[in-house]
Amino acid sequence: MNAKKKASILLVEDEENLQEALKLNLELENYEVSCASDGPAALKKVDQEYFDLIILDIMLPEIDGISVCENIRIKNMQVPILMLSAKSTSADRVMGLKKGADDYMTKPFNLEELLLRVEKLINKNKQLQEKTNVEDLYQFGGNVINFRAQEAKNGRDETIPLSRKEVMLLKLLIENKNEVVSRERILQAVWGYQVFPTTRTIDNFILNFRKYFEADSREPRYFHSVRSVGYKFTD
């Protein structure tokens, strides 16, 4: 990988020697690697940090990898998941993929192949996130946003100066119109946080958008908070 920001990986593996070897090899490929040795620790890290990929062993203490994967998908997190398993039957593979894994490798595996799959999953995820950009001007209801000028006009004909972060958040929500954008993705894309602050950070911005653009901020038509999941713009 080049000098751009390192992609971050959560490695969930309870076998100490394998965890150490994989961490070292991934870091040599210029990835930033966090480790967890059991299910609860993995879920805690996923709630607190943004990851570009999760490498997840199935046989884990306390909560197994299948349940961890299922839990992540229930929260509507779209992070790519590569499952590792000592079980090689097609039924196990199908179960892993059914529960939301993007790829599945059986142990022992070829390290070079694993690194290629890791790179492929991260690149695919980045492409999915880079949706078609909206134009400089975007209209909805009686509102007009001028992204380039960093200002907006609302249905009450008020001109509203927008901060850089307001513009970035508006753009992200509008580019993903009618889809829930997770809190983790917003904080990573707009604030660049690796470790997240509270949801109040985004909530305050959403409240401002409602004041700017909604006819009734208590009954929002455009800017929605989806409890425990994220935020959504509908037009």
Give the start-to-end residue ranges of the domains of the chain: 8-129, 137-233
Do the domains 8-129 and 137-233 sit in the same CATH topology, yes or no?
no
Mean pLDDT calculated for residue range 146-171? 92
DSSP line for 51-101: -SEEEEESS-SSS-HHHHHHHHHHTT----EEEEES---HHHHHHHHHTT-
45-72 pLDDT per residue, tens: 998 888 999 999 999 999 999 999 998 8
Mean pLDDT calculated for residue range 157-171? 92
Quote the CA–CA distance of 47 and 203 in Å, as a whole number: 17
CB 160 within 8 A of CB 211: no
Mean pLDDT calculated for residue range 126-152? 82
Percent of the chain clearing pLDDT 70 (strictly above)? 92
The pLDDT mean for the chain works out to 88
Q: Is the pLDDT of residue 2 over 70?
A: no
CB 50 within 8 A of CB 188: yes
Q: Is the pLDDT of residue 166 over 60?
A: yes
CATH fold of the domain at 137-233: Arc Repressor Mutant, subunit A (1.10.10)
66-95 pLDDT per residue, tens: 999 998 887 757 789 999 998 777 888 888
Tokens in use for 26? 């991934």
CATH fold of the domain at 8-129: Rossmann fold (3.40.50)
Q: Supply the pLDDT for residue 129.
A: 66
Prediction pTM value:
0.65
DSSP line for 137-167: EEEETTEEEETTTTEEE-TT--EEE--HHHH
- Predicted confidence band of residue 193 (pLDDT cuts 50, 70, 90): low
Mean pLDDT calculated for residue range 188-213? 82
Quote the CA–CA distance of 161 and 15 in Å, as a whole number: 54
